[in-house]
Structures are given as structure tokens and as C-alpha cells.
């Protein structure tokens, strides 16, 4: 997973890496705040963005959750593509508690999913 975080960091200096990052992100499992029960029912925890909007946070590395929320916080792992499909219409934020974060708008998520199926 560290490779994905490293690639995410590199996209800030080299925009040509963004498609590669998005491809790898869609294939990766990420960490979300919330609960997944025995029936696989998922409840995402929602955070408020600095703009006052609701967003679902997700993280590339588990350490990011632990350092921001403590190791007792409820979280689960999910494939990014599955999460994007489940949360269509919502705003998602990658690594919201770190210096480098990325907000994904509902339209952007839809276009990423559409790109992937072409």
C-alpha cells in the first residue's frame, strides 16, 4: 500500500502519473471509517469538509487512521472500485487528515468509473 501512497505523492509534481494512480487506486483496498456488520452491511462515517459539506473519508494507509483517530476507531477495508460504486452521488475525500489529501466529487467519481469501463 505504501507504493500507492508514494504514487499519490508523486502525482503532485508529475500530473502525467494521475491516470496510473487512479488505475491503481481502483484496484486497491482502502480503509474507511465506519462499520461493516456480519451481513456485510456497510455504514460509512461521514466527516464535514472545510467548506461545510458532507464527505466520506477514506485512507490509503491504516496508520493515517490510527494517527488521526486512535487505534480504537471503527474502520473496515473495502476495494476502492466497490466503494466508488456504492457511494455514487457522495463526495469522497482521500486521506483527509494528512497534508496531502484529495477530494473526489460525485461527477469525478462517475467519470473515473466510466473511464475504467471503456
Confidence of residue 1 (pLDDT cuts 50, 70, 90): low
Q: Contact at 8 Å (CB) between 62 and 19?
A: no
Helices 2-10 and 18-27: angle between axes, nearest 10 degrees? 160
Write out pLDDT tens, residues 55-96.
999 999 999 999 999 999 999 999 999 999 999 999 999 999
- Cα–Cα distance measured from residue 80 to residue 42, given in angstroms and rounded to the nearest whole number: 14
* Nearest alpha-carbon partner for 112 in 97, 94, 98: 94
Q: Contact at 8 Å (CB) between 57 and 78?
A: no
- Cα–Cα distance measured from residue 51 to residue 64, given in angstroms and rounded to the nearest whole number: 22
Write out pLDDT tens, residues 35-52.
988 888 999 999 987 788
Give the number of other Cβ atoms within 10 Å of residue 99's Cβ: 6
Amino acid at each position: 500500500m505504501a507504493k500507492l501512497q508514494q504514487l499519490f505523492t508523486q502525482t503532485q509534481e508529475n500530473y502525467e502519473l494521475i491516470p496510473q494512480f487512479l488505475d491503481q487506486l481502483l484496484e486497491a483496498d482502502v480503509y474507511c471509517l465506519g462499520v461493516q456488520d456480519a451481513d456485510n452491511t456497510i455504514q460509512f462515517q461521514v466527516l464535514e469538509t472545510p467548506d461545510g459539506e458532507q464527505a466520506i473519508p477514506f485512507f490509503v494507509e491504516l496508520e493515517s487512521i490510527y494517527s488521526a483517530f486512535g487505534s480504537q476507531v471503527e474502520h473496515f477495508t473495502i476495494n476502492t472500485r466497490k466503494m466508488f460504486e456504492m457511494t455514487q452521488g457522495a463526495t469522497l475525500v482521500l486521506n483527509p487528515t494528512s497534508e496531502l489529501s484529495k477530494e473526489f466529487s460525485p461527477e469525478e467519481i462517475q467519470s473515473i468509473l466510466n473511464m475504467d469501463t471503456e
